[in-house]
Amino acid sequence: MSELTGLFNLLAPFFGLIGLGFFCGKTVKQPEAGLAWMQFFLIYVALPCLFYRLIADKSLDQLTNWPFVAATTLSTFCAFALSFSAGWRHTKDLPQSVMQGVAGSYSNIGYMGPPLILSALGAAASAPVVLIFVFDNLLLFSLVPLLMSVAGVEKLSLPATIRRIVWRVATHPFNVATALGVTASYLHLELPAAAAQIVTWLAGAAAPCALFLLGVTVAIRPLRRVPGEVPALVFIKLILHPALVWIVLSALGGFGETWTYAAIVMAALPPALNIFVISTQYNVGVERASACVLIGTLVSMLTLTGVLFLISTGVLPYDLFP
């Protein structure tokens, strides 16, 4: 019973903030355009500060665990391929299938991942969290524009598409913050006291603002119907993806309890709000993206709780092949 109480106290604030945002989105009538500044604050200000803080105090040997990066990124790619196949089976449309591939593989690793996993596993889990965040984003933010170009959604030549991908990856605020954090780690730099306090405040604002925004965004876009492939996508995202991570890390071995559990929980997180942002950007599968985020978040209240319960009670061994 104490484990369940602890899990409730751990997860209730996260899903409670999403629920509060959903309630406000349903009851308070504000123009949707007002969300733009909040999204800008999160993506360009708060979350980069959070990731800078997570990285800057890490030793470089923790940030160059390439077998771990390969295992977790491969698992995410496999989840993408399975979800893409499920989308293709239902739609026979390449752009729609790409969006479904993202929906079944892209976890809420920016908004929920860091605060939840650090609360559950401690500060030692910050290095694997950062690595998964960086390389999952590199994978998916490269795959999506490339496949959309192949599908003809982006009217650019292949070289122009590759140049755009490289530019977007290099200038994305999360990746810029990561590069600055690695530089600070390498040079053992410390911010001046005033700047460090600002970064701390902004980093602390990232999770509550993001979760509230997720609830509001889902609330103001009512779900008219559930597309037929959504249950399969939710199953891939919440069950198969963490299972893949567990199997691959166990097969390679040697990653330790904290790193393995952090990777499993990152994979078990619900679909990210960025799925909706990407679908809106391309004007492809917006309703499907909204359905995946909403249903995936609701179902994850059970599945994520189950994963954390199995971890906290020791039922789920971190190494499947000891």
Q: Is 2-312 CATH 1.20.1530.20?
A: yes
Burial 28-54 (b: 16+ CB within 10 A, else e): eeeeeeeeeebeebbbeebbbbbbbbb
Residue 162's identity, in one-letter code, is I
The SS3 assignment for 107 reads strand
The rounded distance, in Å, linking the Cα atoms of 241 and 232 is 12
Q: What is the pTM of this model?
A: 0.86
- For the chain, the domains span 2-312
Cite the DSSP H helix spans in 269-285: 274-282
Going residue by residue through the chain, which has 322 residues, state the pLDDT in tens, using 9 for 90 and above.
Answer: 566 777 788 888 888 998 999 899 889 888 877 777 888 888 889 888 888 887 887 777 777 889 999 999 999 999 999 999 998 888 888 888 888 999 999 998 877 888 888 888 888 888 899 889 888 988 887 888 778 777 666 666 767 777 877 787 778 787 788 889 888 888 888 899 999 999 999 988 888 888 888 888 778 776 667 777 889 999 999 999 999 999 999 999 889 999 999 999 999 999 987 787 777 777 787 777 778 888 898 899 899 999 999 998 888 999 988 7
| pLDDT, tens digit (0-9, with 9 covering 90-100), for 261-308 | 999 999 999 998 778 777 777 778 777 777 888 889 889 989 999 999
d(CA 177, CA 140): 18
- Tell me: the pLDDT tens digits for 120-130? 888 888 889 98
| Sequential DSSP letters for 123-187 | GGGHHHHHHHHHHHHHHHHHHHHHHHHHTTSS---HHHHHHHHHHHHHH-HHHHHHHHHHHHHHH
